[in-house]
Structure 1
Amino acid sequence: MKKLLNTLYITRQESYLHKERETVVIKKGNEKLGQFPALSLGGILCFGRVSVSPFLMGFCADNGIGIAYYTEYGRFLARVQGRQTGNVLLRRTQYRRADSDEHSTAIARLFVAAKIANSRSVLLRELRNHGENPVLGDTSEKLASSLRRARSARSVDEVRGIEGDAAANYFSVFDELLRGSGFAFGGRVRRPPTDPVNALLSFVYSLITQECVSALQGVGLDPYVGYLHKDRPGRPSLALDLLEEFRASWADRFVLTLVNRRQVQVSDFITEASGAVRLQDDARKKLLTLYQERKQEELTHPYLQEQVPIGLLPHCQALLLARHLRGDTEFYTPYVVK
């Protein structure tokens, strides 16, 4: 159970929420887990087996407190929304800004700057832990240069070009980070992945993308209208924008952990007739178990300064983005590892 800004996150399984005068009470069985003044809440997010009384639902609807339901693993299920939440106005603002190159550039710059900064942090972490490596050191300087350019980019196309150059530099040395027996990385290959490392990266990116979709839906944003990624039927562009912050800091580091701790082996993959490489079923189940365990690990959010499970990071960032679009904050603050 986490309270972040004005949103209450309920992650304790079998919890029950009900209204007591002007407060929200959280219980499990006969044990009271918490009690919060309703006036301090802007939203309640329920993960897994969490029940909410009908009277509390009605009270929240009348007072503009949104209630969103997710599976235990973060997939969006449904949202109970009252008349006064302003979600339509929020989405209209989202759409207007997406149609404005000036506003799109301002937000896209932040997504890409966070991605580059977090990619550079992965390389610097390797240098701290394993000593000097001229190749990694040189690439780290290139990423620092890309970061400076991203902060001053004047169009979305320029931002995309800088992001592409930075990604190419970063993945050109990714093989230096791998220590698992038999694993090699010759560059990023997406559709389809043609080696085990690319298969892992694509799979984990896909998992986190769904986390971002759920988080954006939970705060009332449209995950299909973004700022960095162009609109395309069926593509969750805003979720992919948000994913940029988590590629290196969450996904890449998780993949490196799997490989370097030998939690996955080359024998866990199969090559299909098309040349695509994918995990075998048993290995995929093991990876998903490890992924859920990683989501439960806590860290201090650099902006909120609260202990947050890794799995709730997309929800924190979606909330911050919604606050910015509503005009509550002048700038959006992306997730950057310190």
Structure 2
Amino acid sequence: MGSTRYITSMGELTRKDNSLCFRKDGKNVYIPVENTTEIYCLSEVTLNTKLLDFITSNNIVIHFFNYYEGYSGTYYPKDKYNSGKLLIKQVEAYKDKRLEIAKQIVRIIGVNISEVLYHYYKHDKKEVKGTIDWIRKDFKERIDVVADVKQLMAIEGEVWQRFYGDFKYILPEDFIMNKRVKRPPDNPINALISFGNSLLYTKTISAIYRTHLDQRISFLHEPSEGRFSLSLDISEVFKPVIVYKTIFELVNNKKIQVSRHFDKKVNYCLLNEEGRNIFITAFEERLESVFMHPKLKRKVSYRTAIKLDCYKLIKFIMEDREFTPFSLKEGL
């Protein structure tokens, strides 16, 4: 998986000479640090401060997930990309241009949802046309006249609900979602969405960490204690493209199946280890898939597109250049 390492089973992660060593069931698996930028701990993993010191010196980020496959937190080396000048400008942008930035994020969420649905419309799922038409007219017009971020969040919530409502035309019956349930997910489709969104959120945390942006100062989501709210902002436009397209293809091609890849308990439903591994492989392949960037005149991966959105935001904050997040329609 290149720069990302996933640990999906219980064990101990230690430093062994100048490598990382994961010990599981009495066996050692060595992880080279040279091309590792982030590690995902998706099960109970034991580690110590000696390891964290080694991780810090090699600028590796570690993301931790809980029993319910939800994101718990991130360990990353002390900020070496700090910029006082950008921090001041980012705060000023929050005070003076928050609604402008937030509108662009929500507008592109709609564009990307519409593009994903249009793919299915072209493949004889004509029932999704109502949502596509609503996004292209009513949704767009309401964003233009909205007066504050709270109203904008309500419009964003509506576009997601309409999108979820069309799943019944795209997915087989055993993956139908009655409603979006997050903590913990209560059925297979909610389990896939929660896990996929958490992976994307942490990918965005890693991307922002390697820029001079401050994770805590967001524009669409309310800045709050205990979470990296800017990662929520930047990851949101990529959900239709990366998370949902991955889910639709895995389910419709029967690579993920209800009977084989989920653990269903009384109050929750989770991917089992085999299911997680299938999803992770497809998710990473989606991140590494490329498209031709019309401005850069070269092929760019979706992983790089996340980083480019961070740089677009920096240029808006520092140079007042137009900020338009990644659009599946425009390919940039």
Supply the distance in 1 between the matched residues of 2:143 and 2:296 (Cα, whole angstroms). Answer: 24
Q: How far 1:199 moved relative to its partner?
A: 0.7
Q: How far 1:12 moved relative to its partner?
A: 8.8
Q: Which of 292, 296, 311 is residue 303 of structure 2 equivalent to?
A: 311
User: Does the aligned pair in 2 maintain the 1:224–1:234 contact within 8 Å?
Assistant: no
Cα 1:108–1:282 change in 2 (3 A) is same
SS in 2 for 1:182: helix
Q: How far 1:254 moved relative to its partner?
A: 0.8
The equivalent residue for 2:85 is 89
**Aligned pair 1:163/2:159, yes or no?**
no
The equivalent residue for 1:201 is 193
The equivalent residue for 1:17 is none
Letter in 2 for 1:173: D
Q: How far 1:296 moved relative to its partner?
A: 1.9
Letter in 1 for 2:322: F
The equivalent residue for 1:126 is 120
Supply the distance in 2 between the matched residues of 1:225 and 1:265 (Cα, whole angstroms). Answer: 39
**Aligned pair 1:210/2:202, yes or no?**
yes
The equivalent residue for 1:259 is 251
Letter in 2 for 1:177: I
The equivalent residue for 2:326 is 335
SS in 1 for 2:300: strand
Q: Which of 94, 98, 102 is residue 104 of structure 1 equivalent to?
A: 98
Supply the distance in 2 between the matched residues of 1:76 and 1:335 (Cα, whole angstroms). Answer: 27
5 Å-filtered alignment, 1:1-338, equals 49-50=34-35, 69=59, 77-78=76-77, 81=80, 87-98=83-94, 100=95, 102-128=96-122, 130-131=123-124, 133=126, 135-144=127-136, 145-179=138-172, 182-267=174-259, 268-273=261-266, 275-301=267-293, 303-327=295-319, 329-338=320-329
Instruction: Count matched residues.
Output: 268
| More displaced stretch, 116-125 vs 143-152 | 143-152
The alignment yields a C-alpha RMSD, in angstroms, of 2.8
Cα 1:245–1:76 change in 2 (3 A) is farther
- Identical pairs, percent: 24
User: Does the aligned pair in 2 maintain the 1:178–1:260 contact within 8 Å?
Assistant: yes
The equivalent residue for 1:65 is none
Letter in 1 for 2:176: A
Which stretches in structure 1 are left out of the alignment for 5+ residues?
A: 1-10, 14-46, 52-67
SS in 2 for 1:299: strand
Q: How far 1:300 moved relative to its partner?
A: 2.1
Supply the distance in 2 between the matched residues of 1:305 and 1:249 (Cα, whole angstroms). Answer: 21
Letter in 1 for 2:168: D
Query: What do residues 77-130 of structure 1 show as CA deviations (whole Å, max 9, x unaligned)?
Result: 54885xxx88211112112222x2x411000001111101101111111111x2
Which stretches in structure 2 are left out of the alignment for 5+ residues?
A: 5-31, 37-57, 64-73
User: Does the aligned pair in 2 maintain the 1:113–1:151 contact within 8 Å?
Assistant: no
Supply the distance in 2 between the matched residues of 1:142 and 1:48 (Cα, whole angstroms). Answer: 49
Scaled by the length of structure 1, the TM-score of the pair is 0.72
Q: How far 1:183 moved relative to its partner?
A: 2.2
Runs of 4+ residues deviating >6 angstroms: none
Cα 1:86–1:70 change in 2 (3 A) is closer
Query: What do residues 23-50 of structure 1 show as CA deviations (whole Å, max 9, x unaligned)?
Result: xxxxxxxxxxxxxxxxxxxxxxxx9625
Letter in 1 for 2:160: A
Query: What do residues 174-227 of structure 1 show as CA deviations (whole Å, max 9, x unaligned)?
Result: 221114x73222232222211101110110110010111111121111112211
Q: How far 1:250 moved relative to its partner?
A: 1.4
User: Does the aligned pair in 1 maintain the 2:219–2:230 contact within 8 Å?
Assistant: yes
Cα 1:147–1:301 change in 2 (3 A) is farther
Letter in 2 for 1:194: D
The equivalent residue for 1:41 is none
User: Does the aligned pair in 2 maintain the 1:107–1:332 contact within 8 Å?
Assistant: yes
